[in-house]
Structure 1
Amino acid sequence: FTHWTELSIYVVLPQRLLFFTGLALLTFIINPIWTHKKTMQLLNPVDWNFS
């Protein structure tokens, strides 16, 4: 949290918006979905060779 001024000086606004939007999307939407899918695969294993 100490480099916000340098970030705002050297990185243009559209690039910052794109980066933080993608970071929020990854953190709050994609990561929980992926974690849920992998947990379900761990708890309900499927043998793909014989199904």
Structure 2
Amino acid sequence: MKRGRPKAAVKKVTISTTVDPTVAKKLSNLAQKNHRSMSGQISKILEDWIVKVTSE
């Protein structure tokens, strides 16, 4: 029996939304990496995107 945290199964995550492709790509990369700080990362990416969209 190996000790330690069980390795999380890596799922192929596809995010299909109306978000611009770079944001969708960043989000799916994050989801695949399985970050502990994922929610923080996601909110940052979305904030950047919202700022970009509203400033256009």
Same fold (TM over 0.5): no
Question: Hey, which of these two has a bigger chunk of helix by percent?
Answer: 1
- Report the structure number with the largest CA radius of gyration: 1
> Normalization by structure 1: what TM-score?
0.41
Give the structure-2-normalised TM-score. 0.38
Structure with more contact order per residue of length (Cα contacts < 8 Å, sep ≥ 6): 2
